[in-house]
A and B are shown apart, each in its own frame.
Chain A
Amino acid sequence: MSIEEGAVQAHEAAANAPTAGEYIGHHLTHFNSTGHPQASIIDFSVINVDTLFYSVTLGLLTIFLLWLAARKATSGVPGRFQGAIEMLVEMVAGQAKGIIHEEESRKFVAPLALTVFVWVFMMNAMDFLPLDVIPNIWQQITGNHHAYMRVVPTADLNATLGMSMGVLLLCVYYNIKIKGFGGWVHELFTAPFGSHPLLYPVNFAMQMIEFAAKTISHGMRLFGNMYAGELVFMLIALMGAAWSASGTGVALWVGQVLAGSAWAIFHILIVVLQAFIFMMLTLVYIGQAHEGH
Chain B
Amino acid sequence: MNLNATLFAQLVVFFTLAWVTMKFVWPPIVKAIDERAKKIADGLAAADKAKTDLVNAEKKATDELRKARESAAELRGGAEKQAAHLVEEARAEAARIVAAAREAAETEAAAAAQRAKEALREHVAQLAVAGAEKILRKEVNAQAHADLLAQLKSEL
Stretch at the interface among B30-38, B60-68, B111-119, B126-134: B30-38
**Complex contact B10–A163 (CB within 8 A):** yes
Shortest Cβ distance from residue A168 to the other chain B in the assembled complex, whole angstroms: 10
Q: Which of A88-133 contact B (CB under 8 A)?
A: 89-90, 93, 107-108, 110-112, 114-116, 119
What is the interface of chain B, defined by CB distance below 8 A to chain A? 1-11, 13-15, 17-18, 20-22, 24-36, 38-39
Which among A59, A71, A74, A114 is the interface contact of B13 at CB below 8 angstroms? Answer: A59
> B33 contacts which chain A residues (CB < 8 A)?
75, 86, 89-90
Shortest Cβ distance from residue B14 to the other chain A in the assembled complex, whole angstroms: 4
> A198 contacts which chain B residues (CB < 8 A)?
none
Q: Which of A48-66 contact B (CB under 8 A)?
A: 48, 51-52, 55-56, 59, 62-63, 66
Q: Count of A-B contacts with CB under 8 A?
A: 145
A268 to B11, CA, bound (A): 26
**Complex contact A70–B29 (CB within 8 A):** yes
> A62 contacts which chain B residues (CB < 8 A)?
17
Task: Tell me if A43 counts as interface (CB < 8 A to partner B).
Answer: yes
> B22 contacts which chain A residues (CB < 8 A)?
107-108, 111-112
Task: Tell me if A76 counts as interface (CB < 8 A to partner B).
Answer: yes
A107 to B7, CA, bound (A): 26
A30 to B22, CA, bound (A): 32
Task: Tell me if A227 counts as interface (CB < 8 A to partner B).
Answer: yes
**Complex contact B5–A59 (CB within 8 A):** no
- The secondary structure that dominates the A interface is helix
Task: Tell me if A156 counts as interface (CB < 8 A to partner B).
Answer: yes
Show 12 A/B contacts (Cβ-Cβ < 8 Å), sorted by A.
A40-B2, A45-B4, A51-B6, A56-B13, A70-B28, A75-B31, A108-B22, A111-B21, A156-B1, A159-B10, A165-B11, A166-B14
**Complex contact B28–A71 (CB within 8 A):** yes
Q: Which of A215-229 contact B (CB under 8 A)?
A: 223, 227
Shortest Cβ distance from residue A166 to the other chain B in the assembled complex, whole angstroms: 4
> B15 contacts which chain A residues (CB < 8 A)?
166
**Complex contact A162–B7 (CB within 8 A):** yes
Which among B4, B21, B30 is the interface contact of A32 at CB below 8 angstroms? Answer: B4
Which among B7, B35, B38 is the interface contact of A158 at CB below 8 angstroms? Answer: B7
**Complex contact A108–B29 (CB within 8 A):** no
**Complex contact A44–B1 (CB within 8 A):** no
Task: Tell me if A281 counts as interface (CB < 8 A to partner B).
Answer: no
In the complex, which residue of chain A has the Cβ closest to the Cβ of B16?
A59
Shortest Cβ distance from residue A83 to the other chain B in the assembled complex, whole angstroms: 11
A75 to B3, CA, bound (A): 46
